[in-house]
Structure 1
Amino acid sequence: MRRTTIALLAALETAVCVLVGYGIALVPLMLLWATRFGLAAPLDAFFRAAADAWLLGHGVDLEIQLDELTAAGLGVDGAGAPFTVTIALLGFSLLTFAFGLRIGRRASASGTPVVGAVSAMLVAGLLGWAIAVVGTSAVARPVLWQAAVLPALVIGVGVVAGIAIAFTRGGWATDVTTSAVRRGVDAVPFAARAGLRSAIRIGLGSAMGVIAVAAVLLAVRIAIEHPTIVGLSQALAAGVDGGVVITLAELALLPNAIVWAAAWVLGPGFALGAGTTVSPSVTLIGPVPGLPLLGALPAEGAPLGVLWLALPVLLGFGGAVLVARSAPDRRDEPWWVTLSVGLAAGGIAGAVLGGLAACSAGSVGPGRLSDVGPDALLVAAAAAASVTVGAVAGAFAARSRARHALDPVAERPAAPSPARAAPTPSRASRPVDAPDGDPGDDPASAETVPLDGLVRGSRMP
């Protein structure tokens, strides 16, 4: 397939990705415009609001300036002054990332993944900048340079991940850039490549394990606190159209909530405003935004909450043991190499979870609402420390087990028993004049005695 065709296909898929994300934000607002405002409100305001929501979902900051009447109605200190909303609605970013995975796999199958990646990032940047221009108003002003960079970075990360997955399954592509990368990778010593590969697998596996457990924990909390969530939703009296908007907003914030639950599992927890904390040891919150999903928050610290800190340790240990079974035989490697694999795995897990925590946190409003989400540095440190302990222990345990299984002493064959070692006398060494036994005891020996011997050995009467 020609490079021009690949670039056009990647650009087309990126445009579809942007339109789908923008449409998800626009459709409920159009429903609200038709039912709640009776088609009388200015239509451009809803298009701008959808643009701002999509940009906010990719981490673009919004500078908000509310009018006096709206600010007084919110009842929040500092609402009348300009403030910045920085929290990302990660649901939109997750959608863009998924499209990037698809583009990366298709571009890799064509043999020129770099062309597809560059085309997708350029189109995402241009469309992000155009949406920011559309979304600029007197109330909300997105940062233009972020709108041109951050959506392109999100889809770029997805494309790179898709290319990496395609490489692990089908091998390297044949274009110039990929070949240069391959030559650079091949120049690295095999032991370093094998160790880094093991560390990446352990670190990413442990981080994704924490995220998976956090998602299950959040689902359990939603199921348990379902009556509270329904009560909060009914108290808002938003109606059907408003309920659709609130539900989609909660779905956009659901990845954020999962990352917050992961921060809770790791120990540092998260905040829902300045001076608040939600962690396994203590829960201290004040008035929170009236979002029904927040009804799943625990009212107090979990009993024996310190036991949750053992989860990343166990994930690191199990990941190291499983990876060691499929990794090349490295039982003769120095101890410091095994230690380096465990340390690198912990660092990778901390970087992944800390990065997700940073993306999920930010400001949602003025005053005390300027601090929402987990502390990225604390989450990264907690994840790195706990996963490192488990990964190092698991790596050394697997190494010790491999050495014990191949111990020469353990493989030495058992000595034969004396009864089996004693040779059986052959027929040739048996004396001819030896007394014959009972023929019924040894029929074979009775049949093999020569006839002349029987004649010489017998006596005539």
Structure 2
Amino acid sequence: MPPLLRPLPLPLWLQGVVEALVTALISLLIVLIPTLLVWVTGGFHRPRIDDVLQVGGTLWLVQHAVPVTVTTTLPSAAEPSLVGTAWLVPWGLTLVPLALSWRAGRRLARASYRDQAWQAFAGAVAAYALVGLTVALLPAHGELTVSPWAGTLLPALLFTGAALAGARREAGTWAHLIGVDLTERIARRSQYERWAGTYAWSVVRAAVVALVSLAGLCALLVAGRLVGEWTAVVHLYQEVGAGTLGGTMLTLLHVGYLPTFTAWAAAWTAGPGFSVGSDSLYSAFGATASAAPALPVFAALPAPGQPWHPVFVLVPVLAGAVAGWWLLREGENHLDDWLDARFPNRAASLALSTLALSVLLGLVAALLALLPLALTNGTLGVGTLTQIGSNVGAVAAALAGWLALGCAVGYLAALALQDRPWEGARARAGTAARRGAAGGASAVRDRALATGARVRSAGEGLLVRGRRAGQDGWAAARARMPRRGSRAVTPQDAPTPSGSGSSAAPSAGEAPASGQAAAAGEAPARPAAPADAGRRTPRSRPRPRRALD
């Protein structure tokens, strides 16, 4: 490709702007296209398309938890209009822009170097906030209005949270994303601090397990109630008369409110209950019904005055039991080990550790439940519908108690299913050691005997091979030794004639012994080595000089 046609790399902030604009555009189209279809089929009493676009933009802001001011005209009343604030977020539909923002965060993290992701996120958040401000400032006709500050900040906040989650998922660690290595900082702590942190983190995760279990059980309750009241729900659909497309959009709206209905079901099982209007209350211990909005799903509200409804308080207890069982399986109850090492009575240490664990889990779960309960409350801003939802503080306190009770029951029940459940950590270790010593003695003896037999067999084999090697070496040494009579005769070894003291020299006709051996075809003998040939002469050491007087 020619150099002039090669694409230039975009700065990180500009890449963030592009990703944010793409995310906002896709989420806007997902809302605007069904709104235009409803307008085309005559579902809106608005002849102008700009009004429809303004309604679609308002619905997009509602997806991002932005409150909307609704002005209702009342020509026959003393006051010409009613003004109220509507805020009831369909969190199920909010998952669409959150998922797109999470994808954008992953792409930005993939395009950024270490410690430079903030540049891409700064551009992305600014662009998304600008889109929210533009939608909030769309021309309105007095019925639906949005605060520019809320339209700017709340979409940017949701985008930032989801994008950071996606970037963290892509980077793997915060060190690769922001340059802060939390693992290294934790590793520098002492062992007791790490144990305490591990225990606290296990309690937090167990609280999350309890809340997730509670949400799943309450969702099953909502589904069962809808199935049981399906006839009433369908009848209300027919009374609304929204048509095929309008009924489909209404069903999507119900799907968006399923997280809200699940939170209301949790409040109902906990005891304090929830309300749809200031003069209504729905609880497992009693209910007071009142007029509700014309949504078909409200036909499945709990019926008042059923004597068997208090049984449903076991739902949060069951969720707490699941968390207690999970925590025992996780094996991070360091407080129980610490108390067992200091209390001789195992029953007392187990009771104290279980009580502390249950109370801590209930408190943490209550704190974590505050935000979902608050986000599922709302208002429609008209008449008694200014109060919709649950009493957050009362429901959180009730959930803390029920979940703590369930955690204690689940933890002790899971402990009872184990082998020798009332033993502490030291007793369990000692019992395991004794069992291993008693049960494995015969196996150890058999292994020792087998090992000894193998060693004895190997030793005998080595001994036989050593004997054979010694015999072969001795035979080879004897073969290399000179034979008798083949030794060379020297003047000192020459025979001396009897009666003569001097040695007789061989005659000229005689040959030396070596010559004879050579003539006989034998190998010549080696010359005799001197007597002191094998003796090593010690190295002489210089004497130290004596100092002159």
Q: Which category describes the TM-score, using the shorter chain as reference length?
A: 0.7 to 0.9
**Preserved contact between residue 136 and residue 142 of structure 1 (Cα < 8 Å):** no
Q: Are residues 205 and 3 of structure 1, via their aligned partners in 2, closer, same or farther at CA, if it must alter by over 3 Å?
A: farther
How many angstroms does 1:90 deviate by? 1.6
Q: Are residues 118 and 374 of structure 1, via their aligned partners in 2, closer, same or farther at CA, if it must alter by over 3 Å?
A: farther
Cα offsets for 1:51-71 (capped at 9, x unmatched):
1122122221212222334x8
Structure 1: stretches of 5+ with no match in the other structure: 421-461
Structure 1 SS opposite 2:381: coil
Between 1:119-128 and 1:400-409, the stretch displaced more is 400-409
Tell me which residue corresponds to 1:381: 397
Structure 2 SS opposite 1:195: helix
Q: Does 2:250 correspond to 1:228?
A: no
Scaled by the length of structure 2, the TM-score of the pair is 0.65
Kindly provide the amino acid, as one letter, of the partner of residue 320 in structure 2: G
Q: Are residues 412 and 54 of structure 1, via their aligned partners in 2, closer, same or farther at CA, if it must alter by over 3 Å?
A: same
How many angstroms does 1:78 deviate by? 8.3
Tell me which residue corresponds to 1:345: 361
- Aligned pairs for 1:281-320 (under 5 A) are 281-320=285-324
Structure 2: stretches of 5+ with no match in the other structure: 1-7, 340-348, 416-420, 443-549
Kindly provide the amino acid, as one letter, of the partner of residue 132 in structure 1: A
CA distance in 2, matches of 1:3, 1:403: 60
Tell me which residue corresponds to 2:74: 68
**Preserved contact between residue 259 and residue 357 of structure 1 (Cα < 8 Å):** yes
Cα offsets for 1:144-184 (capped at 9, x unmatched):
212212122223333344456567xx445424x34255555
Tell me which residue corresponds to 1:441: none
Between 1:180-189 and 1:131-140, the stretch displaced more is 180-189
Kindly provide the amino acid, as one letter, of the partner of residue 398 in structure 2: A
Kindly provide the amino acid, as one letter, of the partner of residue 356 in structure 1: P
Cα offsets for 1:92-133 (capped at 9, x unmatched):
322233334434455556665655555543333222222111
Kindly provide the amino acid, as one letter, of the partner of residue 85 in structure 1: A
Q: Does 2:48 correspond to 1:35?
A: no
How many angstroms does 1:410 deviate by? 6.0
How many angstroms does 1:207 deviate by? 0.8
> 1 or 2 for the larger relative contact order (CA 8 Å, sep ≥6)?
1
Kindly provide the amino acid, as one letter, of the partner of residue 58 in structure 1: H
Kindly provide the amino acid, as one letter, of the partner of residue 430 in structure 2: P
Between 1:234-243 and 1:362-371, the stretch displaced more is 234-243
Tell me which residue corresponds to 2:388: 372
How many angstroms does 1:136 deviate by? 4.4
Q: Which has the higher helix share?
A: 1
How many angstroms does 1:84 deviate by? 1.1
Q: Are residues 351 and 5 of structure 1, via their aligned partners in 2, closer, same or farther at CA, if it must alter by over 3 Å?
A: farther
Kindly provide the amino acid, as one letter, of the partner of residue 307 in structure 1: V
Kindly provide the amino acid, as one letter, of the partner of residue 387 in structure 2: D
- Aligned pairs for 1:9-408 (under 5 A) are 10-36=16-42, 41-69=47-75, 80-106=81-107, 112=114, 117-134=121-138, 136-162=140-166, 170-175=172-177, 177-179=178-180, 181-186=182-187, 189-328=193-332, 330=334, 332-334=337-339, 342-391=358-407, 403=425, 406-408=428-430
- Aligned pairs for 1:394-433 (under 5 A) are 403=425, 406-409=428-431, 411-413=433-435
CA distance in 1, matches of 2:10, 2:436: 70
Q: Are residues 381 and 221 of structure 1, via their aligned partners in 2, closer, same or farther at CA, if it must alter by over 3 Å?
A: same
Scaled by the length of structure 1, the TM-score of the pair is 0.76
Kindly provide the amino acid, as one letter, of the partner of residue 408 in structure 1: G
**Preserved contact between residue 319 and residue 391 of structure 1 (Cα < 8 Å):** yes
Rg comparison, structure with higher value:
2
CA distance in 2, matches of 1:304, 1:344: 31
Kindly provide the amino acid, as one letter, of the partner of residue 425 in structure 2: R
RMSD: 3.6
Structure 2 SS opposite 1:406: helix
Kindly provide the amino acid, as one letter, of the partner of residue 35 in structure 1: T
How many angstroms does 1:276 deviate by? 0.3
**Preserved contact between residue 59 and residue 150 of structure 1 (Cα < 8 Å):** yes
How many angstroms does 1:15 deviate by? 3.1
**Preserved contact between residue 6 and residue 115 of structure 1 (Cα < 8 Å):** yes
Q: Are residues 91 and 65 of structure 1, via their aligned partners in 2, closer, same or farther at CA, if it must alter by over 3 Å?
A: same
How many angstroms does 1:9 deviate by? 5.2
CA distance in 2, matches of 1:96, 1:305: 38
How many angstroms does 1:285 deviate by? 1.4
**Preserved contact between residue 70 and residue 83 of structure 2 (Cα < 8 Å):** yes
CA distance in 1, matches of 2:431, 2:182: 45
CA distance in 1, matches of 2:170, 2:269: 32
Kindly provide the amino acid, as one letter, of the partner of residue 362 in structure 1: G
**Preserved contact between residue 103 and residue 166 of structure 2 (Cα < 8 Å):** yes
Structure 1 SS opposite 2:142: coil
**Preserved contact between residue 24 and residue 128 of structure 2 (Cα < 8 Å):** yes
How many angstroms does 1:315 deviate by? 2.3
Q: Are residues 314 and 251 of structure 1, via their aligned partners in 2, closer, same or farther at CA, if it must alter by over 3 Å?
A: closer
